[in-house]
Structure 1
Amino acid sequence: MKNDLLKGEEIKLGIKKKLGMGVASAALGIALIGGGTFAYFSDTVTTQNTFAAGTLDLSVNPEAVINIDNIKPGDTMTREFILENNGSLKIANINLVTNYTVNDAANDNVEDFGKHIRVNFLWNWDKESEPIFETTLYELQNMDPDVVKRDLWDPLWAQKGGIEPGQSNELWVQFEFIDNGEEQNAYQGDSLSLEWIFNATQGEGENL
């Protein structure tokens, strides 16, 4: 009986030993399989990439479109100025903002002096051009820039398609001191300081 018990214990120990060795072998196999993934060929390449923003750079030549003294009703003054794109991106649109101040010498104006200065914009296509947009300085100052763009710039963009980098557009403008056929003595000695702000904008984004 005692011998049978001893044999039973030996059998159990043998089984446990074999199970332990099997588990160890299985773990070793898994480790070998996992480690084996590093045995294949491999290669690596690295790319260096950049994003650089372009520039919008609009300039006006000359910077002072007009400086004149001693004008009188009925006078017209024609001047040329050039819009240049010195940036790296195409200028698709330009908004013109008008500001001015009046110096009423005798403090006797019954109307804004700007209502008596008409502006005729003329694009110089081969030196032959009719006004494409005309208004008074008073109206221009109070006009929405989008309306100015539609009436002034769009006719040019239809012909030129904006201003490409390194390119320029000529614009002729004519100022007229309106002779309204009435007494205008109140404007003698008066002056008007005009500021024009040209705001250039890009076009829509592209798939580059």
Structure 2
Amino acid sequence: MLLDTNYTVEDAKSDNTDDFANLIKVTIMYNTSNATVPVVKTTLAQLKEQIPHLTVIDEFVGSTQRPDGIPPGEKEKMFVLFQFVDNTEDQYQFQGDKLQVDWTFNPKQAPGTYNDDTDPENN
């Protein structure tokens, strides 16, 4: 599942000197019965420049079975955490601003494997 991110910022006072999305840290987490694993950890502005594959995890802790996609007809839980980053500078310019996030989830099918059901040695 590929994630395409877009966003718009409504600058309430027209005084922003930085992109509000640079200060929003996004962590997307894949949940299993044994662990919650961050899949994506970046700012919203950086996420807009990426198209991460949400169901392929390179490092997985908590189980011997590594998630490698969502099987047809199945569901997986994912959590998204948003954090306003304190950059130790004056951030009052963002008070009253609004951030609209638009996510498009694009399924990507991997090549399947053909198994000849008539030959038990080949399954």
- Structure 1 length as normaliser, TM-score? 0.48
Please list every run of 5 or more consecutive structure 1 residues that lacks an aligned counterpart in the other structure: 1-93
CA drift at 1:123 = 1.7
1:202 to 109, 119, 122: 109
Partner of 1:174: 81
More helix by share: 1
Per-residue Cα deviation, 1:56-93 (whole angstroms, up to 9, x for no partner): xxxxxxxxxxxxxxxxxxxxxxxxxxxxxxxxxxxxxx
CA drift at 1:165 = 2.2
Partner of 1:155: 57
Partners of 2:14 and 2:8 lie apart in 1 by: 14
Partners of 2:83 and 2:22 lie apart in 1 by: 11
RMSD of the alignment, in Å? 2.2
Partners of 1:163 and 1:175 lie apart in 2 by: 24
Partners of 2:72 and 2:56 lie apart in 1 by: 19
Q: Which has the higher contact order (CA 8 A, sep 6+)?
A: 2
What is the one-letter code of the residue matched to 2:85? Answer: I
More strand by share: 2
2:95 to 188, 192, 197: 188
Partner of 2:16: 109
Partners of 1:128 and 1:162 lie apart in 2 by: 16
Partners of 1:196 and 1:124 lie apart in 2 by: 19
- Look at both structures and tell me which one has the larger radius of gyration over its CA atoms: 1
SS in 2 for 1:168: coil
Give percent identity, aligned residues only: 37
Partner of 1:136: 43
SS in 2 for 1:164: coil
Please list every run of 5 or more consecutive structure 2 residues that lacks an aligned counterpart in the other structure: 116-123
Work out the number of aligned pairs and report it. Answer: 110
What is the one-letter code of the residue matched to 2:72? Answer: P
Runs of 4+ in 1 over 4 A off after TM superposition: none
Residue pairs, 1:64-143, within 5 angstroms:
94-126=1-33, 128-143=35-50
Partners of 1:124 and 1:163 lie apart in 2 by: 12
What is the one-letter code of the residue matched to 1:202? Answer: Q
